[in-house]
Amino acid sequence: MNRLKAIIFDMDGTLADTEEIHRKAFNAAFDQFNIPCQWDQQLYKRLLSISGGRERIKQYFIENNLMPDYEGTINDLALSIHKTKSEIYRQLLIDGHVGLRIGVERLIEEAKLKNITMAVATSSSTINVETLLKSTLGSNALDLFEAIVTCDIVENKKPSPAVYKRVLKQLDLSASDCVALEDTFNGNRAALSANIITVITTHFFTLDDNFDGASLVINHLGEQNLPMTAQFGESYAAKCVDIPLLELILEDKYQRNSCQKIAAFSAEQ
């Protein structure tokens, strides 16, 4: 009997290469507020360790002792800039400036055909998720996912496991029946803290992240004509992440955990 019942996708950087679009949207928002700062790729790579765009803005201003002329607190300013940034970002999505990552649409189609439940667990906003899904997967994209949990639903952002625990509750599934697809240190920690095994797809902004505990770390989900490259973990010589591979990873993890429990019990006797 196959154990895999659900795949839980992160959004930014996992479903789609959105991080560069986010960076450009932040810089455009700074311009609109006449704030003399631009985040280059290296700086943004560091700032991604902070979950949440509003939180990144606030932390950057604090670290650089930057408080533009603004009637309100630093929290108010960060909130206003982030609202503008989000509007710019969503327009870029609608205009087609971002696509799904390699292998994502293939895996979604396979999961749909094999009746594997799919969900989204993200620190992004609901409207951002809906805009991305509709702009990349079509107007009926939301129907593909049994649960979509965002920062509008769960306040505590990754690496808190709250978003994943909420998804499990909504799906009424055990963590041992699910695999999480992530791309960042915070996302990996969030899923693992909810006892969900992880498969990581890296990109420019997360190549150097620490992914301890992940079952598999790869460059992308792969296609038959564009194989993935395993950076860590057992890929079982697969060319891409598909349902059979996820089931192998899940079953292997389950068996190893069972063996460890048996060994620990035997040692106590």
- The domain that holds 69 is classified in CATH as 1.10.150.240
Interatomic CA distance for residues 163 and 155, integer angstroms: 8
Whether 246 contacts 4, CB under 8 Å = yes
Q: Is 261's pLDDT higher than 90?
A: no
Cis peptide before 227 (omega within 30 of 0): no
Percent of the chain with pLDDT over 70: 94
Which of 61, 94, 127 lies at the terminal end of a domain, its last residue? 94
Q: Report if residue 1 sits inside a domain.
A: no
Q: Is 226 part of a structural domain of the chain? A: yes
**Is the same domain home to 90 and 106?**
no
Cα separations (Å) of 161 from 16, 111, 188? 22, 24, 10
Last residue of a domain, one of 67, 94, 121: 94
Amino acid at 185: F
CA 131 – CA 89 distance, rounded (Å): 10
Contact present, 202 and 231 (Cβ < 8 Å): yes
CB 183 within 8 A of CB 14: yes
What is the C-alpha separation between 129 and 135, in angstroms, rounded?
Answer: 10
Catalogue the long-range contacts made by 253-260 (C-beta closer than 8 Å, 24 or more residues apart). 253/197, 253/215, 254/3, 254/176
* Residue 89, domain extent: 19-94
Mean pLDDT score of the chain:
91
On whether both 117 and 218 belong to a single domain, the answer is yes
Cα 94 to chain centroid distance, Å, stands at: 20
> Which residues are part of the catalytic machinery?
10, 12
Phi and psi at residue 224, in whole multiples of 5°? -60, -35
pTM comes to: 0.88
Q: Are residues 158 and 256 in the same domain?
A: yes
Which residue matches tokens 């899923």?
191
pLDDT in tens, 91-146: 999 998 889 999 999 999 999 999 999 999 999 999 999 999 999 999 999 999 99
Domain boundary among 94, 113, 130: 94
For residue 216, pLDDT over 60 is answered with yes
Backbone angles phi, psi at 204, to 5 degrees: -50, -45
Same domain, 80 and 122: no
**Of 91, 97, 110, 85, whose CA–CA distance to 136 is shortest?**
97
Expressed in percent and rounded to 5, the helix, strand and coil fractions of the chain are 45, 15, 40
Grade residue 66 by pLDDT with cuts at 50, 70 and 90.
confident
Residue 163 · residue 154 · CB < 8 Å: yes
Considering only CA atoms, which of 140, 120, 151 is closest in space to residue 16?
120
Q: What is the pLDDT of residue 27?
A: 98
- 135, 176: one domain: yes
Q: ∠ at Cα 158 (132, 3), nearest 5°? A: 80
The pair of structure tokens assigned to 239 is 């060319």
